[in-house]
Structure 1
């Protein structure tokens, strides 16, 4: 039973990841400037959060996050969140009642 639970969770996470890629690809084909705007907003968010660090650390952390593409990685995380929300909203009526 435990193995089935883990397999179900893995399938759900894989479906959410594929759904996020499909969502990002669809938005890219529809209007690529939306993704650029979202990445810019994510970069502003990163700058705001790193602004609370000491001045020397803030610039180093921001540079490291830019190198690793954190603004684009946040886009993927946001896409996964939307895909999971869609999957859960579609599957909610079919869930088993919790055991007591």
Structure 2
């Protein structure tokens, strides 16, 4: 049996200094590791800004005749890297981020 190691709440680095907790849940097929961020204002603002920049760059590329980036590689942006699965909109919005799936986990009764 492979042990499950939960990352510390500091996995978001400078994107969020809010308290958070990691937890594991099952979707019926595999185990998934999530992180609940209590105050995600900075994180959500950065993700939103990343989405806007990406849409703007996509619009500029579609208008251009040259559709490749300078080095020929499409760079992933922040909103592609962080999968927000739930968020609340309050004065201090929180969110839940899916970190990873553990597909080879087995259920033992």
Greater relative contact order: 1 or 2 (C-alpha under 8 angstroms, separation 6 or more)?
1
- TM-score, L = length of structure 1: 0.35
- TM-score, L = length of structure 2: 0.33
Q: Which structure: greater helix fraction?
A: 1
